[in-house]
Amino acid sequence: MTFTASQIAAMINGRIEGNPDAAVGNFGKIEEAREGQLSFLANPKYEEYLYETRASIIIVNEALELKKTVAATLIRVKDAYSAFATLLGKYQEIAQQQLKGIQEPAYISKTAHYGADIFIGAFAYLGENVKVGDHTKIHPQAYIGDNVSIGDHTIVHAGVRILHSCVIGSHVTIHAGTVIGSDGFGFAPQADGTFAKVPQIGNVVIEDHVEIGANATIDRATIGSTIIRSGAKLDNLIQIAHNVEIGNSTVVAAQAGISGSTKVGKGVMIGGQVGIVGHLHIGDGARINAQSGVSKNIEPGKAVTGSPAYDYTSALRSQALNRRLPDLEKRMKELEDELTRLKK
């Protein structure tokens, strides 16, 4: 796909300086861009590149004053970065929509149903009674188990496994290798020291506009559902245990893990490699710093850090003092000596 300066200016409602017929086929950073590429300048500290870049079209801020002549065609907008992001979004949408049809061989059970404008990649598996909505793309080697339903405009990347009876909403993106609906980790200790499996017969429900990273795992509920609410964003390699609930627009960074039955509120920010024990309530808007170990409920809006995690500001002070412990002990020693002298 190639676009001309005038087409692009129309899409982002910008003003052209230079050749309106200049054409680009893809994107590049201003410091690396080659001919036929589109770039942008948002951060003034990169302005020098504006005069050297080989990019054919550059999106710049309305306000920018040129210090030299520029070879490329410029498109001026209010906010160059967000205009550029908008463009990329449209570009990817078009690309996804071009993906259509069914590649051979795919395994599609006779009882599976799918809507219009879908894509099913080679070696993908659709089990019994699977339902796939319109404009949804199931990439190669994905596994959709029996009785799974998936909404519209959802993207299931290569090698994703969605196990039986899970429910996936619309406008959801699940990245490669992620497993949804694996058994929860439930074992009942027996008298002889062994463990008996507690059957996990619930499912996972993922609401609309959720995005889940690569090689993550979300376990099905023991009974009922593990739920990821609308708009939540989960990063790579995260672990969500059975019967957990993640609230609307909550963000979970890479390699974080949330234990069984914990309920996380709305708009919570969970840092990378955070661990949260089971059966807790994390209030709306709480912020949990990277690598924290959460073992208690968190009030709405509270920020915590550390392992075990507690109030962010006090924790930082303790961490600072902790580094000064050698000094603290030295002062202690001095006091003790002084006292001994005094007592003589």
Active site residues: 242
Q: In what order do the strands lie in the sheet with 107-108?
A: 107-108, 125-126, 143-144, 161-162, 179-182, 217-219, 239-240, 257-258, 275-276, 293-294
Residue 65 CB, shortest distance to a second copy, in Å, is 25
> Closest approach of Cβ 74 to a second copy, in Å?
18
Question: Buried b / exposed e across 320-336, counting CB within 10 Å, b at 16+?
Answer: eeeeeeeeeeeeeeeee
| Minimum CB distance to a second copy, residue 69 (Å) | 25
Residue closer to a second copy, measured from CB, 279 or 331 = 331
If the CB atoms of residues 20 and 198 are measured against a second copy, the closer one turns out to be 198
> Could you please report the per-residue DSSP string of 9-66?
HHHHT-EEES-TT-EESEE--TTT--TTEEEEE-SGGGHHHHTT---SEEEEETT---
Least distance in Å: CB of 126 to a second copy?
Answer: 10
The answer to whether 129 and 110 are in contact (CB under 8 A) is no
Which tokens go with 324? 């000064």
Q: CB-wise, 100 or 331, nearer to a second copy?
A: 331
Return the number of the residue (214 or 303) whose C-beta is nearest a second copy. 214
CB atoms within 10 A of CB 39: 27
| Least distance (Å) between residue 33 CB and a second copy | 9
Calpha distance 137→318 (Å, rounded): 50
**84 pairs with which residues across the strands?**
none
Q: Which is nearer to a second copy, 36 or 257 (CB)?
A: 257
